[in-house]
Amino acid sequence: MDGRYGADEVVIRRLEDQAGLMRSSEREKVEAAMDRFEKRFPQLFFAVCTSRAEGRSDVRQFGFWLLNRAAFKDVPLDRPNECGILLTIDPDAKSAGITWGYALDAFLTAEDSFLFLSRAHAYWVEGRYSEGVIRGLKQLSRVLAKRCKQAKSDPERFERRVAPPSAARQVAERIRAGHRKVVKEEVTP
Amino acid sequence: MRALLVWLSVVNLAISAELALSLPGWSEESRQVVEGEEWLPGAGLLTGDKEAAPVDSTEVQPPTTAEMTEQVAANEIPEKFLDDYFAKRPEGFLVDPQELLSPSARRDREAFLNYHSADSPIDFHVYVFGAEQAIPGGVREEEISERLFSQGKPSLILFYYLGAPERAEIFLSPSLSDAVSDAERRRILQSSTLAAMERSDSIAQLEAFCVQTSIRIYWIEKAAGLVEGGSAVSVAKTLPTSKDEGSARIEAVRKMFDAFWFEWGAIISVSLSGIVISLTFWWTSRRRASYRFPEFDVAPRLGGSHAAGVGAVIGFGSTTQSPSAQHSGVPDYF
């Protein structure tokens, strides 16, 4: 990825509308929604980047690279990129994707991100990008609030999702990797 | 011997029958009339007797106008009591100059009416007459209510005929008569009369009549908001003036609602306020709630120093396809 996009740190804002999809008033509304989100979730932040890939790659790869390399200048230092959720929109490819930091690995799933994008889909089809972002952000807030409550009542359940594999499991995985061709045992009558 | 006795008995019976059953015969004069066809036998049975029936001397003759006038005049309230009844506005609420009520009954009624007056912005005056008595023609009831009760508190005036509640009449002082419909006044009279007719004793009838009328007055007060205080006369002017039956029904429903609201309004208001405050508090607290996630150690993946959580990618190029149809999964290289 670094070879494709560069290995240097990229300084951007939370709302980086490089593609110019939103008017000034719309950007203000989106930033207000981001503020509300950050107030509700003091550890997290939400960022949006609209960019024209121009044949370089798809939004999934770009979002993954950007969240690892970006330095958000309007995000407090106590909210590192591990706590970020990045929405990337490519208006040329008509596609959008979600990427999130390690701190959210236990709490967010691909289904949650699809739900977010589904809520915004109807707006984006009509070119109403800011409204789609705000609507999706509301949905994401609802899901995260629910997950937070569940995590407080049963933290082990979420910790297991991101726990490193145990030594025995690692051994078993190595054995499986070295013996992919499993010989079936003959069953005697 | 036996044969001789039988012969004698038969002869004796024959002679007796001849003497006892001798048939009537025509007289010579009648025979001549019949033969001359001047008289038809049995004609009296067929044509009836045309002679007039004798006048029954015991039948009652209807009274003449003069007699009726005398009878009414005899039932009229004695003239010596007219001034006590109708000369001025009564000082008490029970008007019984003829002392038709016993002292104890009068004391009870006066106590009741005084209590009503103390508790109600509408006074309740009761005029007591005899069951058969009639108000003289020179006295006009409507004129009395206007002349005697146009000043002071609004009043309901009851003309009650002791022992004959069905003859009772209700009048309203001018400040109320403009506001209370005739239908409402009739309803008061009907319900009070029915309540009185359930009793057999004349004093108990009067008591039931007064109680029911007082209740109906209370309903009027509640409907008009007079219970909470304020100027009785001014509020009475706000009472409905509907005349037709439809308006009267609407008015009745409104009064029922007012009565219900008066009884349960405070509880309902407090309950609703509590619910609204609770919902507002819940909504506000929910909006202001902050969520902090527990922190777990996550091993870096895919060479990403900060993030490796790659979610869904969705396309929005087609307006005809659903989001699911434009959803692309995570590629293999992730």
pLDDT score, position B275: 95
Which residue reads 């007797």 in tokens? B49
Show residues of chain A in contact with B324, CB under 8 Å: 118
Tell which wins on pLDDT, B323 or B190. B190
Tell whether the model's pLDDT for residue A157 goes beyond 80. Answer: yes
Q: Residue B317: closest CA among chain A residues belongs to which residue?
A: A94
| CA A42/CA A138 separation, integer angstroms | 16
Q: Per mean pLDDT, which range of B18-22, B58-62, B161-165 is the poorest?
A: B18-22
Question: How high is the pLDDT of residue B330?
Answer: 53
The answer to whether A72 touches A45, Cβ cutoff 8 Å, is yes
Beta-carbon separation of B306 and A84 below 8 A: yes
B235 compared with A145, residue with greater pLDDT: A145
Q: B74-263 domain in CATH 3.40.50.1000?
A: no
Distance, in Å, from the CA atom of A51 to the CA atom of A61, rounded to the nearest integer, reads 13
Q: Rounded to two decimals, what is the model's pTM?
A: 0.46
Chain B residue with the nearest C-alpha to that of A159? B296
* Model confidence pLDDT, tens digit, residues B265-312: 889 999 999 999 999 999 888 777 888 888 887 777 777 777 777 788
Contacting residues of A for B312, CB less than 8 Å apart: 97-98, 110-111, 113-114, 117
Flag whether pLDDT at B333 surpasses 50.
Answer: no
C-alpha B264: how far from its chain's center?
26
Verify whether the Cβ–Cβ distance B293 to A103 is below 8 Å. yes
**Closest-CA residue of chain A to B302:** A64
Record the tokens describing residue B159, joined without a space.
């003309």
Residue B219 pLDDT > 50, yes or no? yes
List the beta bridge partners of residue A99. A86, B310
**Percent helix, strand and coil across chain A, each rounded to 5?**
50, 15, 30
Averaged pLDDT of chain B: 77
Q: What is the pLDDT of residues B69-86, one digit of tens each?
A: 677 677 888 888 888 888
Of the candidates B205, B211, B170, the residue with the CA atom closest to the CA atom of residue B187: B170
**Nearest Cα to Cα of residue B83 among B35, B9, B138:** B138
Q: Which residues of B touch A42 (CB under 8 A)?
A: 290, 292
Please give the average per-residue pLDDT across B40-61, as a whole number.
59
Mean pLDDT of A163-186: 61
- Partner B contacted by A58 (CB < 8 A): yes
- Indicate the SS3 state at residue B49: coil
The tokens for B234 are: 């001014």
pLDDT at B114 over 70: yes
pLDDT of residue B54: 54
Look at B315 and A81 and tell me if their CB atoms are within 8 Å: no
- Binning pLDDT at 50, 70 and 90, where does residue B234 land? very low
CB contact under 8 A, A164 and B299: yes
Higher pLDDT, B197 or B240: B197
pLDDT at res. B32: 78
- For residues B229 and B119, give the distance between their C-alpha atoms in angstroms, rounded to a whole number: 11
Q: H-helix or E-strand containing A137?
A: helix A129-153
Q: Which residue has the higher pLDDT, A6 or B75?
A: B75
Token reading at B323: 């989001």
Q: Do B307 and A158 touch (CB under 8 A)?
A: no
Chain A, 65 to 124: residues with Cβ < 8 Å from chain B are 67-68, 80-82, 84, 86, 93-114, 116-118, 121, 124
B-facing residues of A in 162-181 (CB < 8 A) are 162-164
**Residues of chain B found within 8 Å of residue A103, distances taken between Cβ atoms:** 293, 295, 298
Rounded CA-CA distance A98/A121 in Å is 13
Which of A58-67, A158-167, B220-229 is predicted with the least confidence, judged by mean pLDDT? B220-229
Q: Is A151 on the interface with B (CB under 8 A)?
A: yes
